[in-house]
Chain A
Amino acid sequence: MSEILLQIDGKEVKAAEGMTILEAAQSVGVTIPTLCHLEKLTPYGACRICTVEVDIGGRTSLFPSCLYPVAEGLVVRTRSDRVDRIRKMILEWQLAHAPDSEQLKDLAQIYGADKDRFEKEPAFCILCGLCVRYCAEVKKKYAVGFNDRGPRREIAFVVEVASKECWNCKECFPLCPTSYAQAAYVLTEALAFPGRSSEPLPAE
């Protein structure tokens, strides 16, 4: 595979074709924050926290590093005024939903985000989609999905699937940046199939 030379935060970086900016940055120890990224999953580009500045064709543009493929001669800045402003605002918006998320709080410190800037609307979920995509792509069970759209979007466990599949998996819980996935599951279980999923169904 051909080798691509690009610049990230002033460092010359050698990357392989097909890599994303995020991967190239990680390979040389440059950290770019992410909320919806997981190596095992197809990049999704929804949280926009990994937005970076890219000089391309004489213009500076903003792209999510998790999706943007490396190209010869790219000049990337993972921090800049614009980038930091974007990350700060997104964190402040998300903290209105999940003020206690450790991951969000840590990032808020770095970017000076005020967790009380916006009125609290505790949905607890920041809609990163890690649980939904992990369940679909890795486990191929589709036990959890998105409901509705826009600001009304939320995750929801599909009772028919979750009641059979989730009890011995629960692998999405630790992926969740806010622990809402677990809460949503427990609530679904309590309301729709109490006790049924905590242990295996009796053998035939």
Chain B
Amino acid sequence: MTRTTNTPLVEMRDISISFGGIKAVDHVTVNLFAGEVVGLLGHNGAGKSTLIKCLSGAYRPDHGQVFIDGQKVTINNPRDARAQNIETIYQTLALADNLNAAANLFLGRELINSAGLLDEAQMEAETRKIMARLNPNFRKFNVPVSALSGGQRQSVAIARAVYFNAKILIMDEPTAALGPQETQMVAELIEELKKQGLGIFLIEHDIHNVMKLCDRASVMKNGQLVGTVDVDKVTDDEILGMIIMGKQSNQGV
């Protein structure tokens, strides 16, 4: 872990959000430093995705603040989040199935030419460039993404997050739908992005991936934060204990 400064890249402080009386996220504080991968763990319904959607602009928290580089920011919608260089890879991938890879990659941020019209050729050329880096076998540039395999769709979603120079990357179970080879590809990508100084929030169920990829892990249960641990200093059993029992580990806090 390379913590160069003491100011976290992101700090989500005391975040709460409830839906119809149910507290989905209950006074949770997490932070993330540049060049670090923080795993967000917990059962289904523990509030991980909801918490992260407060950062990506999909939800507005009822309570709490978000700080980026120590500055308080207001994120009301996905556009605000993107303006802060926060990119998200959703579990559902959030791709428009009827559009091709380039159209999805640039969705909401289309390149336009001098006449104000979409510059399709330029967008396709840029898509070819980034895909050549991420997934050199990718060839299907002119078909709707519904015609792509799970791994290919995933690489389109990742390309979308990486292309726009993200500082903060949120990955919601990026390897859930992937085969072993593609999972390895994502793992290598995470390592590479980390070296470039990005901060990554990784929602992950597979404890082996957590131990391999994450620097720290924040565990949630029933909307509350159980605790945050340094992954190097705990065993996978201890993390599993936190997830299942909701008890704070003694080590590595």
Q: Do A and B come from one complex?
A: no
